């Protein structure tokens, strides 16, 4: 469990799982040979130089709010990917151990509506999908919801079991992609991976951090911004968004926290010749 402090905002990472099996599908360009040419990539690959991805939630605790960013995969969900199908993990127990039982949250943010970002929005109770964080408002970008209401889903009935029940319970709020969540937290539009994808910008007492969402899946894309994921809705747009993001935040004292970066998970973007690297 990792922690960061950005001004008055405490950020806590709670991991659901890590995997090296998704890399060849998500980023086929990121071969072991290509990754071996990045001398700083060590913590983010396994012993065979395959990319490692972490699926985790990030909890933002401000002086008066407790906000969860992305809710991972979830238990009991019917999914086409075998390891995630009717999964059973102790994620809620890990939240409790970190000091965050579900009832503490007043806000849930989903950077987008893919399977591994909305799963714990709900849990199975008495055979029905019920909101997990019953005291929270769930915030979704309007454009993201408009897309997924009609778009076919690859991994199973994700919207039906993890998003629609939140609307049915009256806990969902549709917001703009630049919505100000609290004095310290705002959304930042980063489209391409999905139409309404957002990152999360944190500012407090002169310090800054950005949670990437899937605008960057893996740190190797910091060096190779043109490596778009096979899961991107628009690969050209995602590469352009990533390139602009890197240029905007390079060589600045801004902590960049990767939604799928394995430990150490966060660092600062610095220029590295004609490209960039993560300084952790």
Q: What is the pTM of this model?
A: 0.97
DSSP string for residues in 72-117 = -S-SS---SSGGGTT----HHHHHHHTT--GGG-SEEE-SS-SHHH
- Contact status, residue 58 vs residue 71, Cβ threshold 8 Å: no
Domain with 116, as residue range(s), is 3-279
Task: Report the CATH number at residue 111.
Answer: 3.60.15.10
Q: Is the pLDDT of residue 280 over 90?
A: yes
pLDDT higher than threshold 90 for residue 69: yes
Q: What's the rounded Cα separation, in Å, for the pair 29 and 23?
A: 9
Q: Quick one: pLDDT band at residue 24, thresholds 50, 70, 90?
A: confident
At which residue do the structure tokens 């469990």 appear?
1
Residue 181 CB-density burial (10 A; 0-12 exposed, 13-18 middle, 19+ buried):
buried
Give 184-197 pLDDT, tens digit per residue: 999 999 999 999 99
pLDDT score at 22 = 87
Structure letter (DSSP) for residue 136: P
- What is the total count of domains within the chain? 1
Q: Coil, helix or strand for 39?
A: coil
């Amino acid at each position: 469990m990792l922690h960061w402090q950005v001004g008055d905002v405490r950020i806590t990472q709670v991991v659901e799982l890590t995997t090296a099996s998704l890399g060849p599908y998500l980023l086929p360009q990121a071969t072991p040979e290509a990754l071996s040419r990045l001398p700083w990539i060590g913590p983010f690959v396994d012993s065979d130089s395959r990319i490692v991805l972490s699926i985790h939630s990030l909890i933002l605790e401000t002086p008066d709010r407790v906000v969860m960013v992305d809710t991972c995969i979830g238990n009991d969900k019917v999914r086409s990917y075998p390891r995630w199908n009717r999964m059973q993990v102790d994620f809620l127990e890990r939240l409790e151990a970190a000091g965050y039982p579900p009832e503490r949250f007043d806000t849930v943010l989903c950077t987008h509506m893919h399977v591994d970002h909305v799963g714990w929005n709900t849990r199975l109770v008495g055979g029905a999908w019920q909101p997990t964080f019953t005291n929270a408002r769930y915030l979704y970008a309007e454009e993201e919801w408009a897309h997924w209401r009609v778009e076919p889903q690859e991994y199973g009935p994700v919207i039906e079991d993890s998003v629609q029940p939140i609307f049915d319970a009256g806990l969902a709020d549709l917001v703009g992609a630049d919505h100000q969540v609290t004095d310290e937290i705002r959304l930042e539009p980063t489209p391409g991976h999905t139409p309404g994808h957002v990152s999360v910008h944190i500012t407090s007492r002169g310090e800054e951090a950005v949670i990437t969402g899937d605008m960057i899946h893996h740190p190797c894309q910091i060096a190779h911004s043109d490596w778009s994921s096979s899961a991107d809705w628009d690969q050209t747009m995602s590469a352009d968004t990533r390139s602009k993001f890197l240029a905007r935040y390079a060589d600045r004292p801004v902590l960049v926290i990767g939604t799928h970066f394995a430990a150490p998970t966060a660092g600062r973007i610095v220029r590295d010749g004609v490209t960039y690297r993560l300084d952790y």
